[in-house]
């Protein structure tokens, strides 16, 4: 080792050739972590917005409210139109 420089054999002995794999491995782990987060967010969003059972049950409930006189025809039309807009993808 002259003047603070190392020979290639000394670098190999100290693991200098493998120094690239640490940051590369960290980058791969980071990319996998971000991809998992994206997939989880998409999955939760799909399951949350896919509550068609609740939307399908709402129209009969609105009809019952109209029949009981708890809402008027104008309110019924308003809520029915909102349901139709929510069902559109």
Predicted confidence (pLDDT) per residue in 5-54, tens digit: 666 666 656 655 566 677 888 899 999 999 999 999 988 877 665 555 55
Q: Is residue 12 part of a domain?
A: no
- Quote the number of domains for the chain: 1
For residue 61, the enclosing domain spans 19-87
Instruction: Look at residues 61, 62, 51, 47 and name the one whose alpha carbon lies nearest to residue 87.
Output: 51
Q: Is residue 57 part of a domain?
A: yes
Q: Is residue 10 part of a domain?
A: no
Q: Is residue 25 part of a domain?
A: yes
Q: pTM of the full predicted structure?
A: 0.39
- The DSSP secondary structure of 12-64, one letter per residue, reads HHTTGGGTTHHHHHHHHHHHHHHHHHHHHHHHHHHHHHT-HHHHHHHHHHHHH
Task: Kindly report, residue by residue over 36-48, the tens digit of the pLDDT.
Answer: 999 999 888 776 6
């Amino acid at each position: 080792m002259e003047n603070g420089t190392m020979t290639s054999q000394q670098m190999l002995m100290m693991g200098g050739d493998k120094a690239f794999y640490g940051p590369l491995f960290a980058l791969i782990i980071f990319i996998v972590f971000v991809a998992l987060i994206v997939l989880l967010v998409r999955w939760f969003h799909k399951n949350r917005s896919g509550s068609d059972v609740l939307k399908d049950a709402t129209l009969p409930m609105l009809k019952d409210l109209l029949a009981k006189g708890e809402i008027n025809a104008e309110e019924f039309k308003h809520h029915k139109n909102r349901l139709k807009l929510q069902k559109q993808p």
